Amino acid sequence: MAASEAEEDRSAQRVRSADVAREAGVSRATVSYVLNNTPGRRISDATKVRVLATAQRLGHVPHASARSLRLGRSNVVLALVSDFTFGYVRDQTLEALDTAMTKRGYVFLVHRYSETLRPLAELWPLIWPDVVVSMAGTSVSDALSRRDPHTKLVEAQPLLDQRRAGEMQAEYLFGKRHRRLGYAYPTNSNVRSIADERLAGTRTACERLGLRPPVVHSIDRNDVGSVTRALDSWKSEEEPITAICAHNDEIAVMLSMALTSRGLRVGHDLAVIGIDDIPISRLGISTVAIDIEQSTQRIVEHVLAAVENRPAKVSRRPVLRLVARASA
């Protein structure tokens, strides 16, 4: 009974490198050398093949914690987000990163980072990631860089010129003879820094074009009432507002739907332009498209560069492109 139970336990147990070593008739050190292809170590092909085959057969997978304990790093790439509410663009980016890093043997993990919930100082020793990709937009860098010089940090946000996107919106509407603009700003605090950059861009462009600053109203993506109120406010301006720059396509779509439900037509009664070029916007929303291929590739390159301890190749091919549709 006891024997059988022990037997069962053993079979359910993980396979250690010692098991492989015993089975292959070599030492644990040799197993390690073979499995890691340790540079500066020459192992005869015969042993190498035998060890690999044995490991394969037994289904040995090195215990990450043990490895991490010894090496001081974890083979983990940690993506920090401030929010699980990913937008289309972020989805694509995460997916591309995940695929790229997984292919190179890293484990890609996403963690919602909130300083109040769990400070970086605590999160750190729990993971010891090799690379951190911050998509939080907050200033993770300060807290991070002095914590562990070994860890690389990649800030995703600055890799895209958010300010320029905001400018392009205003410039386009100006070209369409709009002279008084509204701005739909998101309440979601997790995107504040991106939102502020985009708005700053629009403001800059307005100033340069001799327009008055845009009339800003906040849109809460979880409260359609905020859309209604914003539309009312814009309509009640003395000098008529004829076009809205939306923080992103999602908000632009909300505006469009709200207009429709009032019996108004977007692009006719009020012009709207978004940013991102999410799929649904192709149903008639003008937007500043972000070249997903490019922007994604740019981030992947930065992360790989961090991993490989080399400077990133900076590509400067344009990533933003204006797409005119029926809404403006």
Contact footprint for a copy of itself (CB under 8 A): 12, 14, 59, 61-66, 68-69, 74-75, 83-86, 88, 90-91, 94-95, 98-99, 102-103, 107-112, 117-118, 121-128, 148-149, 221-224, 227, 250, 253-254, 256-258, 260-261, 279-280, 282-284, 326
Tokens representing 179?
């002279």
Report the sign of the C-alpha dihedral through residues 276, 90, 310, 149, in that order: positive
Contact partner at residue 227 from a copy of itself, DNA, none, CB < 5 to 8 Å by partner kind: a copy of itself
Q: What's the chain's length in residues?
A: 328
> Candidates 23-31, 157-165, 195-203, 204-212 — which segment interacts with DNA by CB under 7 A?
23-31
- When asked if residue 150 is in the footprint of DNA (CB under 7 A), the reply is no
Contact indicator for 274, 244 with CB cutoff of 8 Å: no
Contact partner at residue 291 from DNA, a copy of itself, none, CB < 5 to 8 Å by partner kind: none
C-alpha distances in angstroms, 17 versus 27, 41, 55, 61, 182? 9, 18, 8, 8, 65
Least distance from a copy of itself to the Cβ atom of residue 30, Å = 20
Least distance from a copy of itself to the Cβ atom of residue 123, Å = 8
The owner of tokens 């090496």 is 71
Pairs from 84-87 (Cβ < 8 Å, separation ≥ 24)? 84/112, 85/188, 85/190, 87/248, 87/250, 87/276, 87/278
- When asked if residue 145 is in the footprint of DNA (CB under 7 A), the reply is no
Least distance from DNA to the Cβ atom of residue 56, Å = 14
Contact indicator for 224, 191 with CB cutoff of 8 Å: no
User: Considering only residues 6, 38, 237, 318, which one is a binding residue for DNA as defined by CB under 7 A?
Assistant: 38
Q: Which x/- pattern over 41-80 shows residues binding DNA (rule: CB under 7 A)?
A: xxxx-xxx-----------x-xx--xx-xxxx--------
Q: Which C-beta is closer to DNA: that of 14 or that of 212? A: 14
Q: Which C-beta is closer to DNA: that of 75 or that of 233? A: 75
Contact partner at residue 29 from a copy of itself, DNA, none, CB < 5 to 8 Å by partner kind: DNA
Contact indicator for 325, 287 with CB cutoff of 8 Å: yes
Q: Which C-beta is closer to DNA: that of 22 or that of 229? A: 22
C-alpha distances in angstroms, 294 versus 77, 281, 289? 21, 20, 12
Contact indicator for 98, 176 with CB cutoff of 8 Å: no
Least distance from a copy of itself to the Cβ atom of residue 319, Å = 19
Position 87, amino acid: G
Q: Which C-beta is closer to DNA: that of 66 or that of 314? A: 66
Q: Which C-beta is closer to DNA: that of 25 or that of 240? A: 25
Report the sign of the C-alpha dihedral through residues 98, 101, 105, 109, in that order: negative
Residue 28, SS3 per DSSP: helix
Contact indicator for 231, 164 with CB cutoff of 8 Å: no
Least distance from a copy of itself to the Cβ atom of residue 202, Å = 23
Residue 183, SS3 per DSSP: strand
> Candidates 10-18, 107-115, 137-145, 152-160 — which segment interacts with DNA by CB under 7 A?
10-18
Least distance from DNA to the Cβ atom of residue 284, Å = 55
Contact partner at residue 127 from DNA, a copy of itself, none, CB < 5 to 8 Å by partner kind: a copy of itself
The DSSP code sequence of 80-125 is EES-S---HHHHHHHHHHHHHHHHTTPEEEEEE--TTTS-HHHHHH
Binding site for DNA (CB under 7 A): 14, 16-18, 25-33, 35-36, 38, 41-44, 46-48, 60, 62-63, 66-67, 69-72
